[in-house]
Amino acid sequence: MNNKERGLAPFKRLGMDRFPMWYGADPEFTRNLVNFLGATDEDNALYDILDMDYMTIRPVYSGEPLKKYPDGSVDTIWGVRRNGYYYGMSVSHPMASFETVEQVTGYKFPDPNDFNVDISNEQKNKVKNHCLIGGTWAPFFHDSVELRGMERFFIDMYENPSLANAIVEKCFEFYHELDRRTFEKHGDMIDMYFIGNDFGSQRQLLMPPGLWRKFYKPYLKKLIGQARSYGCVTAVHSCGSIRSIIPDLLDIGVDAINPIQVNAEQMDPEALVNEFGSDAVFFGGIDENNILMNATPEKVRDETRRIIDILGKHGRYIVAPSHDYLIPEIPAVNVAAMYDEARKYGLGALFS
C-alpha cells in the first residue's frame, strides 16, 4: 500500500496496514524536528523517516510585494495590517467605519489573478505516490471578522445583517474562484480539499449555531460542493468546541473533522465516536496543549495508542495532533514519538 492509497483509505472505507498520518507545523518547529531526527532536510524528515501520507500544494501569491512597516508588521492581501509571531494578529480593521453594503462592495478585495495555481513537473513527480491536498485554506470567517473587527462584526450579525453578509460573501467569492481555477487545472491530481476556519472557543461556538447556519454554512457548502464535484474528499479544520455544528458539517458533505481538540468542552473523543463515528472521518485528537507539550515520550506513546483505539474504532481515522500547527515550544522528541508509535501500533485494537 502506498501513501496515496493509505491516505484515502479512511474516506473510502478500505482496508489498510495502518492509519494514515498528517503533519502541520511552524517552520521553526520543523527545523527542530529535522535536527532531532538527524535528517538532511524537511522532505527527508517527513517522508523518508516519519513516512507522512499527505502532501500539500496551495496557490502561491505572485502579486505586488505587500507593504512592510518598521515595527515588523505587514499588510495582508486583504489590506489588514498584522503584527506578531509568524502569521501574527490583526492590528487594523479597514472596514471598521463602514456603514453600507456599497462601501463593502467598493472595497479592493484580493484578486485571484495575483496567485499562481500551477503545479510544476518536479512537484508532480514528488507527490505522485502521496495523497495530495490542494486548493486554498479558505479562512473566510477569519478574514470577515478581521476586516470589520470581531466585536463590531458580531454586533452587525444582529443589527446590520446585510452588511455582515456582504463582507462574508466577498471573502467567500475570492476563495471560491481561486479554488475553481486550481481544480480546473489540477483537479485530476488533487485528492483532498482541507480548509480551516476556527468557529469554536474552548467552551462553545463563537456565535450561536443559528447565526453560523445563516452567515457561514451556505458558503461553506459551496466551497465543499465545488471540491467534491472534482472528486476530492473533504476535511474542515476548526479549533475549539464545535460539537453543535458537526451534524451541519456532515450535512453539507464534509468527510473529515479536524483537529478534534479533545480538551475543549463537548469534544470528548469517546462521545464523538459514539455519536458520529459511522459518518465522519476523525482527523487529529492527540492532545497538543498538555501531552505533546509537557509529557514524557513514553506518555505520548500511551496517549497515541489510546486515541487510535478510540477515534479509529470504525477504521476512519487520520493520526494528527489536536491542532493543525505544531509550535516551536513543543519538544521534537515527543512529536517523533507520536508518529513512530502510530506507525508501530498500526490499527491498534481495531483488529487485535
> Which residues, other chains included, contact 262 with Cβ-Cβ below 8 Å and sequence gap of 6+?
268, 269, 285, 287, 307, 322
What are phi and psi for residue 254, nearest 5 degrees? -70, 130
Q: What is the pLDDT of residue 315?
A: 95
What is the arithmetic mean of pLDDT over 163-190?
97
Tens digits of residue pLDDT in 89-108: 999 999 999 999 999 999 99
pLDDT band of residue 232 (cuts 50, 70, 90) is: very high
Do you find a cis peptide bond into 259, omega within 30 degrees of 0?
Answer: yes
- CA 157, CA 167: separation in Å to the nearest integer? 11
pLDDT band of residue 351 (cuts 50, 70, 90) is: low
pLDDT band of residue 84 (cuts 50, 70, 90) is: confident
Rounded to an integer, what is the distance from CA 122 to the centroid of its chain?
A: 25
What is the arithmetic mean of pLDDT over 226-255?
98
What is the arithmetic mean of pLDDT over 123-140?
96
- CA 197, CA 207: separation in Å to the nearest integer? 13
Do 221 and 252 form a contact (C-beta atoms < 8 A)? yes
Q: What is the pLDDT of residue 319?
A: 98
What is the arithmetic mean of pLDDT over 288-302?
98
The mean pLDDT value of the chain amounts to 96
What is the arithmetic mean of pLDDT over 160-176?
98
Amino acid letter for position 105:
T
Three cell numbers, residue 203: 467552551
What is the arithmetic mean of pLDDT over 192-205?
97
Do 184 and 232 form a contact (C-beta atoms < 8 A)? no
pLDDT band of residue 86 (cuts 50, 70, 90) is: confident
Q: Is the pLDDT of residue 352 over 60?
A: no
Q: What is the pLDDT of residue 185?
A: 96
Q: Is the pLDDT of residue 85 over 90?
A: no
Q: Is the pLDDT of residue 349 over 80?
A: no
- CA 322, CA 310: separation in Å to the nearest integer? 14
What is the arithmetic mean of pLDDT over 293-306?
98
What is the arithmetic mean of pLDDT over 28-54?
97
Q: What is the pLDDT of residue 347?
A: 86
What are phi and psi for residue 72, nearest 5 degrees? 95, -10
What are phi and psi for residue 344, nearest 5 degrees? -70, -35
- CA 214, CA 293: separation in Å to the nearest integer? 37
- CA 194, CA 320: separation in Å to the nearest integer? 14
- pTM higher than 0.85, yes or no? yes
Sign, CA torsion 90/94/96/99: negative
